[in-house]
Amino acid sequence: MTSIKQLEKETIAYLKKTLSPEGYAFASDTFYKKEKDFFIHVVFLVAKIEKMPHLVWRMHIKPYEYDNIFWENLDMAENIKRKDSLRATGAFTAPSYKYGECIIELDDVPSSCESAIKDFTHKTETFLSNLEWDIHKFNKFILESEGIRRGNLLKVLANIQMKDYKAAMNIAKTELENGENGGYQNNGKDIYEHIMLNYS
């Protein structure tokens, strides 16, 4: 049986050959692209599941502006001018919403990759079409969603993009009062502390 390492190598080569002409760039185990006002990035890996190799994709999306808002509030505005790979793989980046996942048995690299690409394309087009590719509708979706990863920080960013600074500050204030943090610090202050200072 072909090793996982070799399958990973063949998978990355096939994905680059297929997706690069579509405008996707690659960084480590991630491919990404700016689509209109949105930033799409997919983390992929080859893993053994029940002793068989599988291709696993996790699909994420965020408004392109979220990172700019995040960095401006965290006193890291210089990152705005850096390559978009930072938005996809950086440690200090705005969180994204995971809108899909794909797990396919990797019995043949080309056919399995094509199946994953088809699934990714369908889920992406369906998700964005339901929102009419509209940032305001995406932000409203985030504000109405519960139980999502980094959900409160996403809601803060959504409110700031919508210029509802009071709502953003109310979430940040409540989080700080509950002993929660946004998971990011710079210059000795949590992201929520920065936001309270910047919009008060």
Band of residue 181 on the pLDDT scale cut at 50, 70, 90: confident
The answer, yes or no, to whether residue 39 has pLDDT greater than 70, is: yes
Instruction: Give the separation between CA 165 and CA 169, rounded to whole angstroms.
Output: 6
The answer, yes or no, to whether residue 182 has pLDDT greater than 90, is: no
Q: Which of 128, 146, 150, 125 is nearest to 138 (CA)?
A: 128
Angle, helix 135-144 to helix 151-161, in steps of 10 degrees:
140
Mean pLDDT of the 34-43 span: 98
And the tokens for 85? 């790979």
- Distance set, CA 33 to CA 18, 86, 109, 147 (Å): 14, 12, 23, 26
Helix (H, G, I), strand (E, B) or coil at 63: strand
Mean pLDDT of the 82-108 span: 97
The answer, yes or no, to whether residue 1 has pLDDT greater than 80, is: no
The answer, yes or no, to whether residue 29 has pLDDT greater than 90, is: yes
Contact between 33 and 25 (Cβ < 8 Å): yes
| pTM for this prediction | 0.95
The pLDDT assigned to 141 comes to 98
Percent of the chain with pLDDT over 90: 95
Band of residue 71 on the pLDDT scale cut at 50, 70, 90: very high
> Tokens 């996982």 appear where?
4
Instruction: Give the separation between CA 115 and CA 55, rounded to whole angstroms.
Output: 10
Helix (H, G, I), strand (E, B) or coil at 172: helix
Mean pLDDT of the 148-177 span: 97
The answer, yes or no, to whether residue 2 has pLDDT greater than 90, is: no
Round the CA-based radius of gyration of the chain to a whole number and report it. 19
Mean pLDDT of the 119-144 span: 98
* Average model confidence (pLDDT) across the chain: 96
Instruction: Give the separation between CA 115 and CA 53, rounded to whole angstroms.
Output: 15
